[in-house]
């Protein structure tokens, strides 16, 4: 499994996990510590801000109390993750499609705004 973290500029950090391994809260917490170190090294302008906005999916490991506490300790704001919608899935979107090809004339920002306005309700 490949874990990748990126911002609008480029990939900040990635790690390969051992084959057959699973991610639990303890391992994810360790990965977040490494990510924080890489952000401080590669994007000091982000780490020196009042806080950083962090986005990950709503997998059970990502929403555990230990992870919530770690992100609070980092002063990272967590961007709400909407219910699954194939056209808004960030990993598919960023890795396999270009913005213009996947959404046509509708921007991702516009789609996210609709999700927020509808309190996470699925958009057709």
Give the span between the Cα atoms of 41 and 32, in whole angstroms: 14
Per-residue tokens: 61:
């490991």
In the chain, what percentage of residues exceed pLDDT 70? 67
| pTM of the predicted model as reported, rounded to 2 decimal places | 0.61
Average pLDDT, the chain: 76
Domains of the chain: 1-81 (3.30.420.10), 82-124 (no CATH)
Give the containing element (helix H, strand E) for 5: strand 2-6
Q: Is the pLDDT of residue 96 over 50?
A: no
Radius of gyration of the chain (CA): 16
Kindly report, residue by residue over 42-95, the tens digit of the pLDDT.
888 876 666 678 888 777 888 889 999 999 998 888 887 766 655 555 554 444
User: What torsion do the CA atoms of 44, 94, 78, 65 make, to the nearest 10 degrees?
Assistant: -110
């Amino acid at each position: 499994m490949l874990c990748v973290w990126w911002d609008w500029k480029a990939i900040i950090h990635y790690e390969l996990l051992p084959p057959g391994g699973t991610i639990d809260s303890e391992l994810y917490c360790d990965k977040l510590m490494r990510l924080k170190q890489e952000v401080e090294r590669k994007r000091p302008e982000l780490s020196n801000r009042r806080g950083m906005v962090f986005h990950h999916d709503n997998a059970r490991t990502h929403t555990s109390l230990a992870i919530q506490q770690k992100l609070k300790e980092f002063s990272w704001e967590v961007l709400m993750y909407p219910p699954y919608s194939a056209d808004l899935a960030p990993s598919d979107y960023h890795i396999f499609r270009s913005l213009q090809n996947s959404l046509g004339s509708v921007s991702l920002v516009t789609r996210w705004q609709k999700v927020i306005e509808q309190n996470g309700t699925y958009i057709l």
